[in-house]
């Protein structure tokens, strides 16, 4: 019942509404069980994190590939300038070498992107596996991520426009 009906008919407040603001004993037990499960999961996550530092220099590989690609691009530019300033009979070999430098730069950038895509693919596979395990166990199947709730169409459109403006800057 609503408060207005209770006031009009001079009825006592509904018991469910009075007690609904306080957790029942069963809810407290359920909550404490969830906390122990959460602690166990955090312990497992800590063990996994402790095992992961064995893999090192992943960020160093990115910077190395960037440096390699930059050096190859500079060498390409230098060789192109040199090829345009020499006799025609010698220019072919120089342009061929410049082409190889460009290929090396593209290969370095491609390797870096492949590594990033592989990492994203592994993260998606892990999320899918975790989701499937949670579904089998009957647990929460909500996928973790960023989400926004919009009240109406106009706020949604304004949010999209704001994100587009931020990405343009």
pLDDT at 27: 61
CA distance 73 to 67: 10
Question: Greatest CA separation found in the chain?
Answer: 106
Write out the two tokens for 18: 């009075």
- Is 108 buried (19+), middle (13-18) or exposed (0-12) by CB count in 10 A? buried
Statement: residue 130 has pLDDT above 70: yes
Statement: residue 143 has pLDDT above 70: no
Task: Give per-residue pLDDT as tens, 89-128.
Answer: 899 999 999 999 999 889 988 988 888 888 888 888 888 8
pLDDT at 95: 92
Task: Give per-residue pLDDT as tens, 133-142.
Answer: 888 887 665 6
pLDDT at 25: 62
Task: Give per-residue pLDDT as tens, 49-87.
Answer: 666 555 566 677 778 888 888 999 999 999 999 999 999
Residues in the chain: 169
The residue with greater pLDDT, 145 or 120, is: 120
Q: At what angle do helices 88-137 and 58-84 cross, to 10 degrees?
A: 160
Unique residue bearing structure tokens 């426009």: 161
Cα torsion through 154, 156, 160, 166, rounded to 10: 90
- Ordered by start, the domain boundaries in the chain are 1-55, 58-140
Residue 44: which pLDDT band, with cuts at 50, 70 and 90? confident
Unique residue bearing structure tokens 């064995």: 54
Cβ atoms of 113 and 69 closer than 8 Å: no
Q: Can you spell out the DSSP letters for 9-63?
A: HTPPPPHHHHHHTS--HHHHHHHHHHHHHHHHHHHHHHHHHHHGGGS--HHHHHH
């Amino acid at each position: 019942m609503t408060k207005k009906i209770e006031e009009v008919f001079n009825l006592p407040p509904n018991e469910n509404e009075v007690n609904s603001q306080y957790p029942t004993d069963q809810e407290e037990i359920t909550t404490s069980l969830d906390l122990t499960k959460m602690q166990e999961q955090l312990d497992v996550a800590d063990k996994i994190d402790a095992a992961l530092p064995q893999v090192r220099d992943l960020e160093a590989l990115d910077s190395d590939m960037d440096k390699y690609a930059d050096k190859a691009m500079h060498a390409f530019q230098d060789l192109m300038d040199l090829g345009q300033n020499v006799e025609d009979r010698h220019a072919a070999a120089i342009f061929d070498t410049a082409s190889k430098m460009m290929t090396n730069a593209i290969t370095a950038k491609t390797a870096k992107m492949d590594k990033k895509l592989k990492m994203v693919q592994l993260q998606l596979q892990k999320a899918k596996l975790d989701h499937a395990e949670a579904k089998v166990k009957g647990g929460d199947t909500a996928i973790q991520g960023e989400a926004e709730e919009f009240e109406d169409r106009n706020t949604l459109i304004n949010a999209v426009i704001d994100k587009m403006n931020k990405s343009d800057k």
